[in-house]
Structure 1
Amino acid sequence: MEKFHIVRLGCPKNDADMDIFRGIMENKGYIYSEDPKSADTIFIDTCGFIESAKKESIDTIFDYNSLKEENPDLKIIPIGCLIERYYDDFKEELKEVDGLYGVIPPAVIANNFEKGNYYLQLETPYDTYNCDFRHVPDTNYAYIKIADGCNRNCNFCSIPYFKGKPASREIEDIVNEAKFLVDNGIKEIILVSQDNTLYGADLYRKQSLPELLNKINQIEGDFWVRVMYLHPDFINDEIINAIHNNEKVLNYFDIPVQNGSDNVLKLMGRVRMKDKIKEIVKKAKANGSAVRTTILLGFPGETDQDFKETMDFIDEIEFDRLGVFSFSPEEGTPAFDFDYEVDEGTKDQRVDALLELQKAISEDIMEKYIGKTLDVLVEEYSDGVYVGRSFLDAPEIDGNVFFKTDKKIELGSFVKVKITNSLDYDLEGELL
């Protein structure tokens, strides 16, 4: 039977799709090859969000296409967001590849590939999918995509233009997928979509994330649930309470506020201004929850005063975790044509200054955990040191907890660690 390989680029939502896609393909009899050189077909799941991601995707396509020199029969098929965004251009100009799939449900891609139809793009609003088969990753965590698409229309973001309108999966289907993963050893379920706050609004005519969390919390087993991507414009008390009150749901809020200046927030097309955001974050933090955010600096029209307001905003709120990006103009978005562009040098200076501030904030926050005991999911062992994550730490983007012990700890298990030392973004402790 044919062998296939998947190259994963972009965000965790892509990871969720590709786990589904791999499971469906394997169920059809195709064999997954860890070595791309042994594959008959290589699928490259692309990202089309910002310029650097687009460049990485295109470079990767050509890198893997070079394998055809040794294997002329190899099929290279790019898929995903970048392909959807520029489908007609790629189909006309990218003759080196053997197929193109846009933002298409994994089962639809697999079915079309099986039939020999290697070209397909999204022609209707995104059609959600059921999860009859999926691959279980070899990590202790797994992403579940609960919806796709977005109707936010933030002035800097291209996603709504190629993802389509929001389309939610049914609660029962998501719960079944979570149960399957827990039954197969996954210890942390991470819920992702473009905006989890609006989950279910299209399908059930109401924000249904609280109901979904209540249902997942009822699954038997020893596991965590982490919720990502909570747009501040539509977080409400019901969502906050569902995260606070469900035992298996981690007290962790990922709220991408983007800026701390009302002037810039208005230019971005955001709805809630900083005073309302402060109120939301205060409620989220009420029971000791961690709050992560993302800040976008250098948006057209952002003045020195606006930047100062953002710095003051961050200094006041003290986010537990923070990611910062500089503005990249994306064609097809309103901001692409905005005047008063901020020069690259100023953007870099602002990013560096905010990162320095956040480092100091993080040092203070981490120090407060000394003497406390945290539940830790153990994930690695190297040179006598175990590495894990607490409720504070989403994989790959946040920190870690380090501890030493003579005991043999099974990777993927939960342990209690008393914190004895703090680093900039990490913690050290001793096993209890």
Structure 2
Amino acid sequence: MKIYIEMLGCPKNEADCSNLKGYLKKLGYELVDNINKANAVIIDTCGFILEAKKESIEEILLNVERKKKDKNYKVFVTGCLVQRYSKELEKEIPEVDGWYGILPPKTIAEKIGKEKKLISTTPEPIYHFEDRVDESFQYAYVKIADGCDRACSFCTIPYFKGPFKSRNIEDIKKEVEILVKRGKKEIILVAQDTTGYGVDIYGKQALPELLKTLNDIKGDFWIRVMYMHPDHITDEIIDAFQFSKVLKYFDVPVQHGSDQILTMMNRTKKSEDLKKLINKIRNIYPQAIVRTSIIVGFPGETDEDFEKLLEFVNEMEFDRLGTFIYSDEEEASSYTLDKKVSREIAQERLDILMEAQARISFEKNQKYLGRKIKVLFDEENDGVLLGRSYMDAPEIDGNIFVKGNYREGFCTVKINAADVYDLEGELVEEG
């Protein structure tokens, strides 16, 4: 069977798919990088918010149409959407050859084509490492935990991913060692909330210990940490970013700047607490990049709440910011709240917020003109290299564009142009 894997959703899915490919290859399946060469597809879905659900369903239906033209073509669907809506999906799209919920990659590989439906009532979101097959990029996502025990009112993840579960340090270390030996230059640690790492298996927040262990692995590579819930960032976690390979990149989704909305979101830290946290990070690490995420249009968000959010963003001047319109999910506790904000008003607020952030980002980027920056290149298109520095995570942040031929490893780039989100430069040969 020639299998193409269609990965949708978050970087945690990407880590899962890389491990799934490793198991499939061991079992003798042929993996192809073009769906037109495949006679089977595995679609790893996202079921988090409305737009992600739509994308997943559209991809399933697209492949079902292909199946109607080619009776030998197989369609298998896995992941969050299946775990969340398995009964509805099986009823509405009977053409699918296999439905598999949130299960370890090894289980999915072993069951593909052998069972029509496999949905565990207790999701199994983490994997144990044996092998993986990655894209040619110089970075790799490594999932250190999954599931969630937090109670953010807008979030449905605990409903379909189950409680927070961590992998043990030795298993993660083994995976990272293999990736570094294979030439990966950036290891990106992901979980629903990386600050919770270890609590379930070690009885404490073990992210600092994990970072020290990974930092001690031989090799020249970066370690980037994603998704740190601000309510649970401790001094010990902040101190762990001192390790040489750990990037001073703090991904801290604050979600809002109005205390009223933060309370309704069931977040502990309020605006002044968040300001103190961010300022503490910046005082300890002057070169720190602070990235955050904001939700606009939460039920009950008034014009006054939005003005407080806008003031908060303007004052904190986040280095990187992603804004999302609230998605009203039926299993989330916020679903029952009154005073829903219309899509039109939410979009207007998003546009205003992003305009403010564009100004902040442009001013920050101007500071890099004439400076030399350490860069990793992800790809080359028509003689233009697309790269990133420690300041930017793949796919969600900015890029550095350089003319030249693709190069592996760390390179030095002198910045000679800067716009709102991206930089341009030239390669510098270091003597």
Does 2:324 align with 1:325? yes
Q: Report what 1:241 is aligned to.
A: 239
- Cα deviations by residue, 1:390-411 (Å, 9 ceiling, x for unpaired): 0111111111122346xx5x52
Alignment check: 8 A CA contact 2:137 2:379 kept: no
Alignment check: 8 A CA contact 1:263 1:306 kept: yes
Report the CA distance between 1:66 and its aligned residue: 1.3
Q: Report what 1:386 is aligned to.
A: 385
Give the alignment partner of residue 413 of structure 2, picking from 409, 414, 417.
Answer: 417
TM-score by length of 1: 0.95
Separation in structure 2 between the aligned mates of residue 239 and residue 153 of structure 1, nearest angstrom: 21
Report the CA distance between 1:412 and its aligned residue: 2.4
User: Where in structure 2 are the equivalents of 1:71-150 lying within 5 Å?
Assistant: 71-113=70-112, 116-124=114-122, 126=124, 128-150=126-148
Q: Report what 2:178 is aligned to.
A: 180
Q: Report what 1:283 is aligned to.
A: 280
Separation in structure 2 between the aligned mates of residue 125 and residue 188 of structure 1, nearest angstrom: 29
Q: Report what 2:46 is aligned to.
A: 47
268-277 or 395-404, larger mean C-alpha shift: 395-404
199-208 or 33-42, larger mean C-alpha shift: 33-42
Alignment check: 8 A CA contact 2:125 2:147 kept: no
3-state SS, counterpart of residue 97 of structure 1: coil
Q: Report what 1:306 is aligned to.
A: 305
220-229 or 353-362, larger mean C-alpha shift: 220-229
Give the alignment partner of residue 269 of structure 1, picking from 238, 255, 266.
Answer: 266
Give the alignment partner of residue 255 of structure 2, picking from 258, 279, 287.
Answer: 258
Separation in structure 1 between the aligned mates of residue 35 and residue 375 of structure 2, nearest angstrom: 35
Q: Report what 1:297 is aligned to.
A: 296
Alignment check: 8 A CA contact 1:240 1:283 kept: no
Task: State the identity %.
Answer: 48
Alignment check: 8 A CA contact 2:102 2:123 kept: no
Q: Report what 1:32 is aligned to.
A: 31
Separation in structure 2 between the aligned mates of residue 413 and residue 34 of structure 1, nearest angstrom: 24
Report the CA distance between 1:140 and its aligned residue: 1.2
3-state SS, counterpart of residue 387 of structure 2: strand
Provide closer, same or farther for how the CA distance between residues 311 and 418 of structure 1 changes in structure 2, counting only shifts above 3 A. Answer: same
Aligned length: 426
Q: Report what 1:15 is aligned to.
A: 14
CA RMSD of aligned residues (A): 1.5
Alignment check: 8 A CA contact 2:98 2:112 kept: no
Q: Report what 1:164 is aligned to.
A: 162
Separation in structure 2 between the aligned mates of residue 39 and residue 265 of structure 1, nearest angstrom: 47
Does 2:199 align with 1:201? yes
- Cα deviations by residue, 1:21-49 (Å, 9 ceiling, x for unpaired): 01101011111122334433211111101
34-43 or 16-25, larger mean C-alpha shift: 34-43
Provide closer, same or farther for how the CA distance between residues 127 and 35 of structure 1 changes in structure 2, counting only shifts above 3 A. Answer: closer
TM-score by length of 2: 0.95
Alignment check: 8 A CA contact 1:259 1:265 kept: yes
Report the CA distance between 1:382 and its aligned residue: 4.1
Equivalent residue letter for 1:422: A
Separation in structure 2 between the aligned mates of residue 342 and residue 142 of structure 1, nearest angstrom: 38
Report the CA distance between 1:133 and its aligned residue: 1.4
Separation in structure 1 between the aligned mates of residue 44 and residue 125 of structure 2, nearest angstrom: 18
Alignment check: 8 A CA contact 1:7 1:45 kept: yes
Report the CA distance between 1:3 and its aligned residue: 1.9
Separation in structure 2 between the aligned mates of residue 252 and residue 75 of structure 1, nearest angstrom: 42
Structure 2 residue runs without a partner (length 5+): none
Structure 1 residue runs without a partner (length 5+): none
3-state SS, counterpart of residue 306 of structure 1: helix
Alignment check: 8 A CA contact 2:155 2:332 kept: yes
Q: Report what 1:363 is aligned to.
A: 362
- Cα deviations by residue, 1:333-383 (Å, 9 ceiling, x for unpaired): 111111011112211110000000000000111112223322111233345
Give the alignment partner of residue 215 of structure 1, picking from 213, 229, 234.
Answer: 213
Separation in structure 1 between the aligned mates of residue 37 and residue 246 of structure 2, nearest angstrom: 41
Separation in structure 1 between the aligned mates of residue 125 and residue 54 of structure 2, nearest angstrom: 28
